Amino acid sequence: MLDRLNLLRHAILDLNLTAFLISSTTHLRYLMGFTGSNGVGLITSDQSFFVTDWRYREQAKQEVSNAEILVAFRDLFAALKDRNALAIGARLGFESHHLNFRMFSHLRKTFPHLKLTATEYVIEKIAARKTAAEITAIRRAIAISEQAWREVLPLITPGVEESAIAAEISYRGRKLGADGDAFEPIIASGWRSALPHGISSHKTIAAGEMVVIDFGFLVDGYPSDITRTIAVGDPGPQLRQAYEVVREANRIARERLKPGCKGKEIDQLIRDFIAAQGLGEAFSHSLGHGLSMELHALPRLGPTSEDEVPPNSVVTLEPGVYLAGLGGVRIEDDALVTETGCDVLTSLPRELICVA
């Protein structure tokens, strides 16, 4: 993790900052190894500080080895002030997407003479490129997900509630060794499958319906994110056609993903293909996103994304078609971007599965 801190120090220098405040708990884990729920980090050109409250003093000793640990008895920023960690007039960058207004106000009150600078995606850009260990964790999360899928698939039958399938997925992932769900599983059937991010409900799955299953697990903080859509019985010609369009869109995305392409370019390629099939208005979300310790990370693959896809990044490819009142289809894979193209990490079948 020292290399990550050094990369952050280079970024701090490029931004003409004196120091950088880390407030995201996910980024604290990424940079310092801390897995608790309360803390901040401070990085300068030659020092690293981690501050937490008394509840985590022993945990911090076990997890944080690359920073001086400060235990706060009043508040986190007061501990930094007592340590004289920031000089008057220092230029401090902070994570604008993660530092809430209450903490920002308290920071400004504690250090009234600092020059505060809002930053965006500084750590996220560092985290986009994965190490071999990070890729191994994601592969393990995917392997657990795929085994859980194989175990749960026979349970999806008419008369079963969506929430029951969601519970089975979570249980089996944990039993197979996952640290937990990467997010709450989405099981959406029938008309609800046309909700791109509908939560699992107590709706009963019925014959003739599509069922969208979006799920993933965590291993060492890294997620998988997979979607498959199945049919319970015969879904009818319109939904079968939608399924084949999405399946082909997924294939094109896997074939065309390569390092250096812009997120908006590959998104537009797939959007144009779906539109050419007469279903353009039915694709209502971005093509995909990066996977890091944050589930939705850089690079973003969407209509406005200027992000360039770097080698050694891991992204989702998740085209979908949603027909209101009828049903929806999404097929999502996780792919490792290589020096020349991509290595698709997910191996579940993409052909339409019809269960009785």
Distance, in Å, from the CA atom of 13 to the CA atom of 20, rounded to the nearest integer, reads 10
C-alpha atoms less than 13 angstroms from C-alpha of 264 in its C-beta half-sphere: 5
Structure tokens at 288: 């995909």
> Is residue 2's pLDDT more than 70?
no
Q: What is the pLDDT of residue 356?
A: 76
Q: How confident is the model at residue 339 (pLDDT cuts 50, 70, 90)?
A: very high
Q: How confident is the model at residue 74 (pLDDT cuts 50, 70, 90)?
A: confident
> Is residue 268's pLDDT more than 70?
yes
Share of the chain above pLDDT 90, in %: 98
pTM for this one?
0.97
Q: How confident is the model at residue 197 (pLDDT cuts 50, 70, 90)?
A: confident
CB atoms within 10 A of CB 97: 12
Q: What is the pLDDT of residue 1?
A: 72
> Is residue 327's pLDDT more than 80?
yes
Rg over CA atoms, the chain: 23
Residues 232-244 pLDDT 10s: 999 999 999 999 9
Average pLDDT, integer, range 263-292: 98
Bridge partners (DSSP) of residue 117 are 93
Residues 87-103 pLDDT 10s: 999 999 999 999 999 99
All domains of the chain in start order, with CATH? 2-127 (3.40.350.10), 132-355 (3.90.230.10)
Q: What is the chain's mean pLDDT, rounded?
A: 97
